[in-house]
Amino acid sequence: MKCVIFARVSSKEQEETGYSLDAQEKQLTEHANQHSFSVVKKFRISESASGAKARQAFSEMMSFIQDEDIHVLICEKTDRLTRSRKDAVTIDEWVKEDETNEVHFVRENFVLSRNSKANEKFIWGIKVEVAQYYTDNLSEEVKKGQAEKIRQGWLPTKPPIGYKTVGEKGHKIHVPNEETAPLIREMFKLYASGEYSVISLNKKMYEEGLHSRDGAKFAKSRIHTLLKDPFYYGCVRWNGVVSAGKHEPLISQQLFEKVQSILRSRTTPHHERHQFQFSKMMKCGECKGSITAEIKKGCHIYYHCNHYKNCSQKKYATEHSIEEQLFGVFRFFEAITPKEAERIKGRIRKDHEAEIEYKEQKIKTLNARYLRNERRIDVLFDARLDEKITQDMWERKNTEISEAQDKIQSQIKILKNEDTKYHEIWLHIVDLAFRAREIYEKRSPKDRRLMLRHIFSNLILQDRNVAYTLRKPVEILAKRVQERVDAEKTFELKKPLKNKASNGFSSKNDLLLALKDDFRTIDWMNVYPYPEIALEELKSLCA
Ligand SMILES: [Zn+2]
């Protein structure tokens, strides 16, 4: 009689016991020989094969058996043959089809057929259920393990590039990868600058050394995916749900959000062939259309309305004349002498330090409170384990404390980041304004544009004249400088009166005091929603 052999070995068995497919096949062939079956075909599945491949092998075998009219199937034991209830049903149906159909389970020393005894059929049924249970349980355990991992703040899978996995099995965590983490940081910063498209960013990052494992440049879509991965600012996204992670972030949330807003706006400028200083920065005063630049007579750069709308603005302004007008603004700030500027900056710095000290104290207090709460949770948990408190009580208390902890953490975060950053920003803006002309003259077109963006919120060109709106902090600074200039004038008029000299002097102090208070009146979050980026830009400009 013809028979088919079905051998299956899990990769774990192979690794741990050296029990191989070959050994199993030999055993099954011996069984066939003993019963004088002739082996027509051997089907082998190594468990390392993917689920799809294993299923394919199983259904190939079943159709082979039916096509070739084979009535004996030999395998080692139940769970080798059926990995799911579906497989078992298929086998069951095949056995019921024909009285002569038999499945030999060699190890279990049991033959399944239509004529099997009731107790044998019962045991077969149980074994099938056990196999199914094993499969279900495995995936349930996996899911449970993943959910627990998420709950603890860890990603239950491979981390994105920029991180590596460390630790023992079951306690694996993700830490920044020294090689790739700086590249990821750089990538976010560059994209946040608004100077790169995803394509040019990909090119740039490839040059910097960011590539796939085989050294190839990433696909554009991959860069997109990385730029949108909340893992980088410390969150974990699993099945579409984002929750707080425990791993060390590579970037701040502000930076991440800035990148998202650029990705959304899709107004990412592509690299231009000529980096015109003022293009995309100015608007036509008449039609509000954008101003474009062109090169005439070889090297002269002219700016004019793009005339996409109906507009009578026909005059062209040279780049030089625009610069001259902006220099007028810069020179205005030079009414404050470098020495005075130093004093002002010194004063802001001092305030800043006092503020930092106050904040550090506050952070210390919050940290202590946080630790106290952690201990309270431990105590509660022990009490719950000893059943001194009810589950309800535990849950209520735990939620209560966890919420308090979240609040403390966000308070600490705010104290650590934002306000101190804004103080530093203020300091740098003052520095930038007082040194604007010098900085402008020294820097590249790209830096110049960056600087103009920090000084002006709006630049308008009409009849070759530049009109502008200053950004709020600079506007306030300008107002104070103007007061100072006015005071000087009064002082000059009253010069003959020697005893009034102190008036002129005190105006300097007024200026100092006023600037100090002005800091509080500015809605910083509104002016600079991404303080970290703004500060870094300002630092690089003032360096
Ligand atoms: Zn116009």
Residue 275 reports pLDDT greater than 70: no
25 and 100 belong to one structural domain = yes
The mean pLDDT value for 277-295 works out to 85
Q: How far is the CA of 261 from the centre of ligand 1 (A)?
A: 28
- The pLDDT of 66-81, averaged and rounded, is 88
Boundaries of domain holding 474: 283-336+423-542
Q: CA torsion 327→328→333→339, rounded to 10°?
A: 70
Ligand 1 centroid from CA 310, angstroms: 7
Regarding whether 411 and 429 lie in a shared domain, the answer is no
Out of 420, 438, 454, pick the residue that ends a domain. Answer: 420
Residue 456 Cα to ligand 1 middle (Å): 20
Closest CA to 435 of 543, 319, 323: 543
The CATH number of the domain holding residue 206 is 3.90.1750.20
Report how far ligand 1's centroid is from the alpha carbon of 179 (Å): 50
In a domain, 30, yes or no: yes
Residue 524 covered by a domain = yes
Distance CA 379, CA 439 (A): 59
Q: Are residues 65 and 142 in the same domain?
A: yes
Q: Which residues surround ligand 1, an ion (CB under 5 A)?
A: 284, 286-287, 289, 305, 311, 313
Mean pLDDT in residue range 197-201: 89
Residue 219 pLDDT: 87
When the pLDDT of each residue in the chain is averaged and rounded to a whole number, the result is 83
Gap from CA of 116 to ligand 1 centroid (Å):
93
| Ligand 1 centroid – CA 314 distance (Å) | 8
Tally of CA atoms within 13 A in the half-sphere of 97 that contains its CB: 16
Residues 239 and 287 in one domain: no
Interatomic CA distance for residues 514 and 525, integer angstroms: 21
Do 525 and 431 share a structural domain?
A: yes
Q: What is the pLDDT of residue 292?
A: 86
Q: Are residues 171 and 143 in the same domain?
A: no
What pLDDT is recorded for position 338? Answer: 84
Of 110, 112, 118, 113, residue with least CA distance to 99: 113
For residue 452, report the distance from its CA to the centre of ligand 1, in Å. 21
Say how many domains are in the chain. 4
Residue 36 domain flag: yes
CA distance 163 to 143: 23
Among 264, 293, 327, identify where a domain stops. 264
The fraction of the chain above a pLDDT of 70, given in percent, is 89
Residues 205 and 227 in one domain: yes
On whether both 416 and 356 belong to a single domain, the answer is yes
Helices 198-208 and 220-227, interaxial angle, to 10°? 90
Q: How far apart are the first and last CA of the chain?
A: 90
Rounded Cα–Cα distance for residues 472 and 541 (Å): 19
Query: How many Cβ atoms sit within 10 Å of the Cβ of residue 450?
Result: 18
Determine the distance separating the centroid of ligand 1 and the alpha carbon of 304, expressed in angstroms: 8
Q: What is the pLDDT of residue 50?
A: 63
Residue with tokens 């952690």: 374
Cβ-contact 510, 234 below 8 angstroms: no
CA distances from 342 to 339, 345, 513 (A): 5, 5, 15
- Among 407-411, 428-432, 481-485, which range has the highest average pLDDT? 428-432
CA of 14 to the centre of ligand 1 (A): 77
Contact (Cβ atoms closer than 8 angstroms) between residue 317 and residue 302:
yes
Distance CA 292, CA 294 (A): 7
**How many whole angstroms separate alpha carbon 119 and alpha carbon 110?**
11
In three state form, how does the secondary structure of 272-289 look?
CCCCCCCCCCEEECCCCC
Instruction: Answer yes or no: is 226 within a domain.
Output: yes
What span, in angstroms and rounded, lies between the C-alpha atoms of 527 and 454?
Answer: 10
CA 309 to centroid of ligand 1, rounded, Å: 7
CA neighbours closer than 13 Å in the CB half-sphere of residue 190: 20
417, 252 in Cβ contact below 8 A?
yes
CA of 443 to the centre of ligand 1 (A): 30
User: Does residue 240 share a domain with residue 169?
Assistant: yes
| Residues 349-371, mean pLDDT to the nearest whole number | 83
- Alpha-carbon separation of residue 289 from 135, 186, 280 (angstroms): 65, 34, 10
Instruction: Determine the Cα–Cα distance for residues 532 and 535; give it in Å rounded to an integer.
Output: 5
Give the distance (Å) from ligand 1 centre to CA of residue 461. 9
- Where is the domain boundary, 420, 435, 456? 420
Rounded to 5 degrees, what are φ and ψ at 130?
-65, -45
Residue 239 dihedral angles phi and psi, to the nearest 5°: 50, 40
- 37 confidence band (pLDDT: 50, 70, 90): very high
Residue 249 pLDDT > 70, yes or no? yes
**Segments in 271-386 forming alpha helices (H):** 319-333, 338-385
Q: Which two tokens stand for residue 328?
A: 């007028």
Residue 307 CA, ligand 1 centroid: distance in Å: 5
- Quick one: residue 463, left, alpha or beta (phi over 0 = left, psi -120 to 50 = alpha)? left
For 215-221, the CB contacts below 8 A with 24+ separation are none
Two structure tokens written together for 189: 């910063």
Angle at CA of residue 450, ends 445 and 455, nearest 5°: 120
The SS3 assignment for 19 reads: coil
Ligand 1 center–CA 249 separation, angstroms: 46
What per-residue confidence (pLDDT) applies to 500? Answer: 43
Query: Ligand 1 center to residue 465 CA distance, Å?
Result: 13
CA of 457 to the centre of ligand 1 (A): 19
> What DSSP character marks residue 387?
T
Q: How far is the CA of 263 from the centre of ligand 1 (A)?
A: 29
Question: Running DSSP on this structure, what letter comes out for residue 290?
Answer: B
Burial degree of 155 (CB within 10 A; 0-12, 13-18, 19+): buried
Q: State the DSSP code for 502.
A: H
Global pTM value: 0.48
- Looking at the predicted structure, is the pLDDT value of residue 272 above 60? no
Binned at pLDDT 50, 70 and 90, residue 11 comes out as low
CATH number for the domain spanning 62: value is 3.40.50.1390
458 C-alpha to ligand 1 centroid (Å): 15
Highest mean pLDDT among 338-347, 453-462, 510-519: 453-462
**H or E stretch at 249:** none
Per-residue pLDDT, 498: 47
Task: Judge whether 22 lies within some domain.
Answer: yes
Q: 149 CA distance to ligand 1 centroid (A)?
A: 59
CA of 279 to the centre of ligand 1 (A): 14
Among 8-17, 134-143, 403-412, which is the least confidently predicted range? 8-17
Q: Does one domain contain both 71 and 83?
A: yes
Using the mean position of ligand 1's atoms as its centre, give its distance from the Cα of residue 283 in Å.
Answer: 8
Asked if residue 301 is part of any domain, the answer here is: yes
306 & 243 share domain: no
**Is 37 a domain residue?**
yes
In the reported structure, the alpha carbon of residue 289 is separated from the centroid of ligand 1 by a whole-number distance in angstroms of 5
Over residues 422-449, the mean pLDDT reads 88
Q: How far is Cα 28 from Cα 24, in angstroms, rounded to an integer?
A: 6
Same domain as 315, residue 170: no
Q: In terms of pLDDT, which residue wins out, 17 or 464?
A: 464
Q: Does 272 reside within a domain?
A: no
Ligand 1 center from residue 197 Cα (angstroms): 28
pLDDT in tens, 254-271: 889 889 888 877 544 444
pLDDT of 400 strictly over 70: yes
Mean pLDDT of 319-330: 90
For ligand 1, the distance from its centroid to the CA atom of residue 284, given in whole angstroms, is 5
d(CA 470, CA 456): 4
